[in-house]
Chain A
Amino acid sequence: MEAMEIDSQKIHQRKQSTYLSFDESFEIQKETYTGQQYSQIYFARLYKMRTLLYSLVPNWKPRLTVCTVLGLEQGKECIIVGTLYKHMKLKPCILDEYSKERSSAPLVKAHNFVHPDDCLILEDESGRVKLGGTKLSPLLYVTGVVVALHGRETSAGEFFVEDVLEAGLPPQIELPLELREDKYVVFVSGLSVGSTASNPLQFQLFVDHITGHLGDDEEQNIAAQIVHVVIAGNSVEIPHGLLNGQNLASKDQSSLSDPIKELDLLLTQIASGLPLDIMPGSNDPANFSLPQQPLHRCLLPGSAAYNTFRSCTNPHCFELDNIRFLGTSGQNIDDLAKYSEGKDSLDFMERTLRWAHVAPTTPNTLGCYPFSDRDPFVIESCPHVYFVGNQEKYETRLLKGSNGQLVRLICIPKFCQTGVAVVLNMRNLECHTLTFGTQFS
C-alpha cells in the first residue's frame, strides 16, 4: 500500500486510512428473474418511508389525523402518505413503436420531457388521487417519491394540497473529531478510454501525479497524503455497434478489447500505489439496470491482482476513517434532470437526499432490478460526502440538514472532456480540483 519516493533523500510515506464497504445491499447475488414485478419495490419503499413519515407527522401537524386515500372524506382536512406518480404528456412510451403514424410524429428533444400540463397523483395501496393546489409543483417532483401531504378533498375529487412533508435528511453518524491531519480522496469519472475524446497523455499525467511520480518535493508530499481514489463510472467506451450478437472478425475482436486492456494498464499503475475503487457507469461493460454490479475481474486481470483494487457496485457506499461516502455514476441525477426541473445538478442531488432516496425514478424511468423484499436505494444513514459522476461541470456545495447533518455534495465532471479530477480533504470536507492539460507546440 505504500509508494515510496526516494528522490531528494526524503522519503514520503503514504498515509493510510481504514476502509469499510457498505455495498452488500446493492449486490445481487442469488436473486433471479422469476416473474416478480415492480410493484414489490414500490411497496417496500412505501412501507419503509411511511413508517418514517408517520413518526414525523405528530411534530409537523399535531392536530390532524392521518388517512388512507380510500378513506378520504370530502372537505375534511387530513394528512395522506403515499407514492407520487407524475403523469407526463411528453414521456416517451414503448407503445409509440406500434402507433400508426410511426414516422410522422416529431421526436421530442432528448434532454427534458417536462411539460406545463404535467400533473401529480398520490397513490397508496388503497388507491390514487389527483393532487391540486399550487403548493406542490409538478416541475420539482418525480414519480416514485414518498411524501406526506396535508390538505383536503375538493368537490371535484381532487386533493387540495396545503402543505408537504418530505422525509428529510436521514440521521447521520457523528463526524469523527480526532482527524487532525490532511488526508485526501480523489474522485474522477468519465475517463472514456478508447473514445475519440479521450487523451491518453492526460490520463497518464493524472496517474503519475497521484502516485507521486510528478512534481517537486512539496507536490510529492501532497500526493502522499492521498489515501483513496474513486473512479465513478464510464471508464471505457466500447464501440457499441460491434455488440450486435453477430460473430466478430478478429480485427473487431481486438477493437472491442483494446480500450479495456489500455484501462487495465493504467489502473494497474494506480492500484500498485494506492487503494482504488472503480464503479461501473452507463457506458461500461456492465449491466444496465441499477444497482449496477461490479465490473468483472476478467476484464481487468492486471489490476484485479492487487488487493488495493476494488470493483464496486453503482451506487457505491463506503466509510473511510468513519467518514461515510455515498455516490453514483450519475444515472440517477441525469434521469431527474430529464423528468423534472432544477437549477443545477447539485439541486437534484440535494432533492434526492431530502427525499431520502438515491434514485426515486427507479423503476419508472430508470431501469432497476425488480427487488421483491426491499428497496436498497432508500438512504437510511446520511452520508458525509455525496458524489455523482459524469456531470457536465465541477460543482460543490455544503448542505446543512435540520438535525445538524453536514453533507458535502460533489459533482464530478467527465475527465475526458475537462481533464478535471476532484480532491476532497477528509479533515475539513473541503474540495478542490486538479486540472490536467496537454499542449503541443
Chain B
Amino acid sequence: MKVTPEDARKLNLPPECVNKTPSGETFVKSNLQKGILPEILEELIAARKRAKADLKASTLIALLPSEFPDNRLYCYVQEAKDPLEKAVLDGRQLALKISANSVYGFTGATVGQLPCIEISSSVTSYGRQMIEHTKKLVEDKFTTVGGYEHTAEVIYGDTDSVMVQFGVSNVETAMNLGREAAEYISGTFTKPIKLEFEKVYYPYLLISKKRYAGLLWTNSQKFDKMDTKGIETVRRDNCLLVKNLVNDCLHKILINRDIPGAVQYVKNTISDLLMNRMDLSLLVITKGLTKTGDDYEVKAAHVELAERMRKRDAATAPNVGDRVPYVIVKAAKGAKAYEKSEDPIYVLENNIPIDPNYYLENQISKPLLRIFEPILKNAEKELLKGSHTRSISISTPSNSGIMKFAKKQLSCIGCKALLSDADKTLCSHCKGREAELYCKTVSQVSDLEELFGRLWTQCQECQGSLHQDVLCTSRDCPIFYRRKKAQKDMAEAKRQLGRWNF
C-alpha cells in the first residue's frame, strides 16, 4: 500500500502556494516560479520512461530496410537472447525509479548538498497525513460491528505504507480484504494518488521500527520468499557468521515454525564458536582502507592491521583502496579493540587463537536478541549464558609468546598422557584400544581428504583450467580460507596418521 513520493510531483507539492502543507510550510506555485526539484524529477521520470521503452525494444530487434541495397523491404525481427543486456536495462530503469523516489530525501540531510529541511518535512508530513487517514478509515470500516469477521488493526506504518492486521486466519481472505481496503481508500484520495494492495505477510515478525521479517505472499498458493527489512545486515563489515545465523534462524522460525529448533541451532553455533570448530571464513570482517594510517583520526582495527602487515611484508600488504579482511584474535588483557585484529591467513598459518567472546558479544548477540526477544522469555539468559557456553577450547599459537620456549613432547593419541621416549603412538594403558583409536585417526584423515578434493577441484573449475595451479586470491570467496585451512589441516592429520607407522 503506497503513497509514493512520486505522487508529490503529481500534486505539484513543492510549489504549493496558497495552501500550507501539513507541516506548516508554504510553497510557491509552479506557474509563478518553477522549482529546481520538480525539474529534476521530471527529467528523471522521462528518463525512466525511455529506459522502460528500451527494455521493451531489446527483445525485438528490427533491421532497417535501408541496410539492404536492392531496395526490397526486409524486416528481420529476432529476439535478443542476451539476458545480460536485459538485466542491465532493467537495472537502469530501477535505478532511475529509486533516484526519482529519493529526490526529496536529500533535502532533509542538513550537511548534504541541498539542505532544505522544509521540503522533506512537507513531503513526509503529507505521507503521514495519508497514513493517519488510512488508519482511521480502515479501523472504522473493518470492524465486527461493520459485519466483518474480526476487527482490523493498523500495526505499523512508514512513510508510504501501512500494515494492517485483519485478524483472519488464511492468506486468501486476507488478500481479498487487503484489495477491498485499497480500493475503498483510494476512492477517498485526490485523483493521481492511489493506495495499492501489495502483499500479505504470514507469519510476520515485527521487531521494532523499520525492522521486520516475514514470509511474503503475493498469491494465495505459495509464499514467494522470506522478506526481511533492517534485520539481516547485508553490510560487509559484519562477518558472514552473523548473516548466516540470522538467516537460518528466521528460516527455522518463519518457514518451519520451529522455535525450539532455532534455539538449539543458535546454541550449537555458539558452542562451535567457543570450541574453535568454526570455519574461519565465517569470522572474517572486511573494511575498505580509504586512506593511510596517519590520516585516520581514531585508530581503527583494519588500518592498524594494514600497517602491521606492511612491516611484515610490504609486497603483500593491502594498499589504499583495497578491502582489508581481518579476524579478531585473543590478545593481552585490556588490549584495545584495534590491537586485536589479525590477517586471517596469518592466523591460519600460526594457529593464533581467535577471540570467541568478541564475536559473541559484539557480533552475534545483538542481532540474535533482536529476533528472539519478542518470541522467547529470558532470551539473553537462554541463548547466551546456557550450559553450551561452558566448554571452551583455544588453540595454542605456534610462533609467539611463551610457546617459543616450550619443550615439545608427544602425547598419547588415546588419552593425551605424555609419552615416554620409547612409545611413539600410544601409552601402555591405551595399547589395547589400537583398532578403535586408529579408526578414529584414519576417519579424520578420510574426511579431510574428501573436503580437500572437493575444495581444490572447485577452484580449478572456477578458474577454468586443469593444467595450471590455482592462483585465485579472491578473499571474498567463501571457500578461500577453507581451502587454505584444508591444506594445512591435511598436513597435520597426515602427520598424526604417520605416527601409526610402527
A39 to B457, CA, bound (A): 10
Closest residue on chain B to residue A46 by CB atoms = B467
Query: A296 interface residue, CB < 8 Å from B?
Result: yes
Query: A85 interface residue, CB < 8 Å from B?
Result: yes
Taking a contact as CB atoms closer than 8 A, the residue among A33, A248, A253, A285 that contacts B443 in the complex is A285
**A363 and B457 contact, CB distance less than 8 A:** yes
Kindly specify which of A92-100, A203-211, A309-317 makes contact with the partner chain: A92-100
- Asked whether A298 and B434 contact (CB < 8 A) given A37-B470, A39-B467, the answer is yes
Query: B439 interface residue, CB < 8 Å from A?
Result: yes
**A287 and B439 contact, CB distance less than 8 A:** no
**B487 and A38 contact, CB distance less than 8 A:** no
Within 8 A of B (CB), among A132-153: 143-144
Could you give, for residues 476-497 of chain B, a 1 whenever the CB lies within 8 Å of some chain A CB and a 0 otherwise?
Answer: 0011000000010011001101
Closest residue on chain A to residue B435 by CB atoms = A257
Query: B447 interface residue, CB < 8 Å from A?
Result: yes
**B457 and A260 contact, CB distance less than 8 A:** no
Least Cβ–Cβ distance between B461 and chain A, in angstroms: 8
A98 to B487, CA, bound (A): 20
Closest residue on chain A to residue B442 by CB atoms = A285
Query: A113 interface residue, CB < 8 Å from B?
Result: no
Residues on the A chain within 8 Å of B251, using CB: 102-103
**B442 and A367 contact, CB distance less than 8 A:** no
**B435 and A35 contact, CB distance less than 8 A:** no
- Asked whether A288 and B455 contact (CB < 8 A) given A39-B460, A83-B466, A85-B466, the answer is no
Query: A114 interface residue, CB < 8 Å from B?
Result: no
A365 to B453, CA, bound (A): 8
Residues on the B chain within 8 Å of A98, using CB: 478-479
**A43 and B449 contact, CB distance less than 8 A:** no
**A285 and B450 contact, CB distance less than 8 A:** no
Taking a contact as CB atoms closer than 8 A, the residue among B439, B446, B458, B495 that contacts A288 in the complex is B446
**B467 and A43 contact, CB distance less than 8 A:** yes
Least Cβ–Cβ distance between A207 and chain B, in angstroms: 21
**B467 and A125 contact, CB distance less than 8 A:** yes
Closest residue on chain A to residue B277 by CB atoms = A245
Residues on the B chain within 8 Å of A289, using CB: 449-450, 452-453
- Asked whether A32 and B494 contact (CB < 8 A) given A94-B458, A285-B438, the answer is yes
A39 to B466, CA, bound (A): 6
Taking a contact as CB atoms closer than 8 A, the residue among A85, A285, A368 that contacts B439 in the complex is A285
Q: How large is the interface on B (under 10, 10 to 19, 20 to 34, 35 or more residues)?
A: 35 or more
**A38 and B446 contact, CB distance less than 8 A:** no
- Asked whether A296 and B466 contact (CB < 8 A) given A38-B460, A93-B458, A288-B449, the answer is no
Least Cβ–Cβ distance between B234 and chain A, in angstroms: 11
Query: B454 interface residue, CB < 8 Å from A?
Result: yes
Query: B474 interface residue, CB < 8 Å from A?
Result: no
Within 8 A of A (CB), among B417-476: 433-436, 438-440, 442-447, 449-450, 452-458, 460-461, 464-470
**A38 and B439 contact, CB distance less than 8 A:** no
**B443 and A243 contact, CB distance less than 8 A:** yes
Query: B500 interface residue, CB < 8 Å from A?
Result: yes
Could you give, for residues 76-117 of chain B, a 1 whenever the CB lies within 8 Å of some chain A CB and a 0 otherwise?
Answer: 000000000000000000000000000000000000000000
**A287 and B436 contact, CB distance less than 8 A:** no
A240 to B436, CA, bound (A): 12
Least Cβ–Cβ distance between A310 and chain B, in angstroms: 17
Closest residue on chain B to residue A256 by CB atoms = B436
Residues on the B chain within 8 Å of A253, using CB: 433, 436
Residues on the A chain within 8 Å of B436, using CB: 248, 253, 256-257
Query: A299 interface residue, CB < 8 Å from B?
Result: yes
Residues on the A chain within 8 Å of B490, using CB: 33
- Asked whether A243 and B449 contact (CB < 8 A) given A32-B491, A125-B467, the answer is no
Residues on the A chain within 8 Å of B464, using CB: 128
- Asked whether A38 and B438 contact (CB < 8 A) given A287-B449, A298-B500, the answer is no
Residues on the A chain within 8 Å of B469, using CB: 37, 39
A440 to B393, CA, bound (A): 54
- Asked whether A37 and B438 contact (CB < 8 A) given A83-B466, A296-B500, the answer is no
Report which residue of B443, B478, B490 has the largest number of chain A beta carbons within 10 angstroms of its beta carbon.
B443
Residues on the A chain within 8 Å of B500, using CB: 296, 298
Query: A124 interface residue, CB < 8 Å from B?
Result: yes
A193 to B314, CA, bound (A): 58
A188 to B471, CA, bound (A): 45
Residues on the A chain within 8 Å of B455, using CB: 94
The 9 closest A-B pairs by CB, nearest first: A367-B453, A288-B446, A243-B443, A288-B449, A289-B449, A298-B434, A98-B478, A33-B491, A33-B490
Interface residues in chain A, defined as those with a beta carbon under 8 Å from any beta carbon in chain B: 32-35, 37-39, 42-43, 46, 83, 85, 93-95, 98, 102-103, 123-125, 128, 143-144, 238, 240, 243, 245, 248, 253, 256-257, 260-261, 285-289, 296, 298-299, 301, 363-368, 370
5 further contact pairs, Cβ within 8 A, besides A39-B466, A257-B439: A37-B469, A128-B465, A243-B440, A299-B435, A367-B453
- 29 pairs across A/B with beta carbons < 8 Å? A33-B490, A33-B494, A37-B460, A39-B466, A83-B466, A94-B454, A94-B458, A95-B458, A95-B478, A98-B478, A123-B465, A124-B467, A125-B468, A253-B433, A256-B436, A257-B433, A257-B436, A260-B439, A285-B438, A285-B439, A288-B446, A288-B449, A289-B449, A289-B453, A296-B438, A299-B435, A363-B453, A363-B456, A365-B457
